[in-house]
């Protein structure tokens, strides 16, 4: 299984080339330059091994949740590459990517969603895959879904709202990997498994996973959030 993977859902711009289990990676702290950087990064990876996109088995991208603009960039690039080469696409969630990166067995993945909210989900490792215990959702940290047992916390949600999440999961968090962010490396790993199982999709069907359908709060909503937070 040979594939190219990309993720532009955060401030990082990352690309990976998966060649039968061997990995090559490029990453840049991009700010707002994802659309400028990602294609040259992919081209560089392919040139290193003398391959073209047409010689691959698929394209995987970080589908979200994450930055709205970043998700659109990743989806559009993945669709363009796949259409041109006649390849299937694997849309990989950013929250399971955090779990994959953690090397842990039971993971709460949380990303800072701004506006006082987080994207959050919980996963348990099942052989080489992840079983979803709590589906991805958008919420305030103090309203994070209840869970039983012991967990490891991963992602920027634990940096931005560590105190609230520690209170919400008091006595349940054994470790934190707050430094982890969605990366093409894990997109490639999960994407390879999806494609190997025949779960790739037609590029025309690929779409970002936004979760949030609203990017701004009204003055009244912001005031209500402050009252709730206190």
Pairing assessment for the beta strands 151-154 and 173-177 based on DSSP bridges: parallel
Q: pTM for this one? A: 0.91
Asked if 2-94+182-205 and 95-177 have one fold, the answer is yes
The model's pLDDT over 147-203, given as tens digits with 9 standing for 90+, comes to: 999 999 999 999 999 999 999 999 999 999 999 999 999 999 999 999 999 999 999
Rounded average pLDDT over 50-63: 98
* % residues pLDDT > 70 (the chain): 92
CATH fold for the domain made of 95-177? Nucleotidyltransferase; domain 5 (3.30.420)
CA 56 from centre of chain: 22
Listed in sequence order, the residues at least 6 apart from 55 whose beta carbon sits closer than 8 Å to its beta carbon are 2
CA 192 from centre of chain: 15
Alpha-carbon gap, residue 30 to 28, rounded angstroms:
5
Token readout for 122 is: 């919980």
Task: Confirm if 93 and 198 have CB atoms less than 8 A apart.
Answer: no
Q: Is 151 exposed, middle or buried (0-12, 13-18, 19+ CB in 10 A)?
A: buried
Q: Where are the domains of the chain?
A: 2-94+182-205, 95-177
Residue 13 has pLDDT above 80, yes or no: yes
For the sheet with 106-114, list strands across it: 129-139, 117-126, 106-114, 151-154, 173-177
Rounded average pLDDT over 117-124: 98
CA 180 from centre of chain: 11
Q: What is the CATH number of domain 2-94+182-205?
A: 3.30.420.40
What's the confidence (pLDDT) of residue 230?
43
How far are the Cα atoms of 45, 101, 103, 118, 119 from residue 26, in angstroms, in the given order? Answer: 8, 16, 21, 27, 26
- Tell me the pLDDT of the chain averaged across its residues: 93
Secondary structure element (H or E) that encloses residue 103, with its range = none
Token readout for 30 is: 């991009």
Alpha-carbon gap, residue 2 to 53, rounded angstroms:
10
> What is the Cβ-side half-sphere exposure of residue 63, based on CA atoms within 13 angstroms?
20
């Amino acid at each position: 299984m040979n594939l190219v993977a990309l993720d532009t859902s955060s401030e990082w711009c990352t690309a990976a080339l998966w060649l039968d289990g061997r990995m090559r990676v490029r990453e840049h702290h991009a700010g707002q330059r994802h659309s400028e950087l990602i294609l040259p990064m992919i081209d560089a990876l392919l040139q290193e091994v003398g391959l073209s996109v047409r010689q691959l088995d698929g394209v995987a991208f970080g589908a979200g949740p994450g930055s709205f603009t970043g998700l659109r960039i990743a989806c559009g690039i993945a669709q363009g590459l796949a259409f041109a080469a006649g390849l299937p696409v694997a849309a990989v969630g950013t929250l399971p990517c955090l779990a994959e990166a953690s090397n842990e067995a039971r993971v709460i993945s949380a990303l800072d969603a701004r506006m006082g909210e987080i994207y959050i989900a919980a996963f348990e490792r099942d052989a080489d895959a992840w079983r979803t215990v709590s589906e991805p959702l958008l919420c305030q940290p103090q309203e994070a879904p209840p869970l039983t047992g012991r967990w490891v916390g991963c992602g920027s949600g634990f940096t931005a709202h560590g105190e609230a999440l520690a209170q919400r999961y008091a006595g349940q968090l054994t470790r934190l990997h707050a430094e982890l962010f969605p990366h093409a490396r894990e997109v490639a790993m999960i994407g390879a498994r999806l494609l190997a199982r025949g779960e790739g999709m037609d590029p025309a069907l690929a779409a970002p996973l936004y979760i949030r359908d609203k990017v701004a709060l009204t003055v009244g909503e912001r005031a209500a959030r402050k009252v709730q937070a206190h």
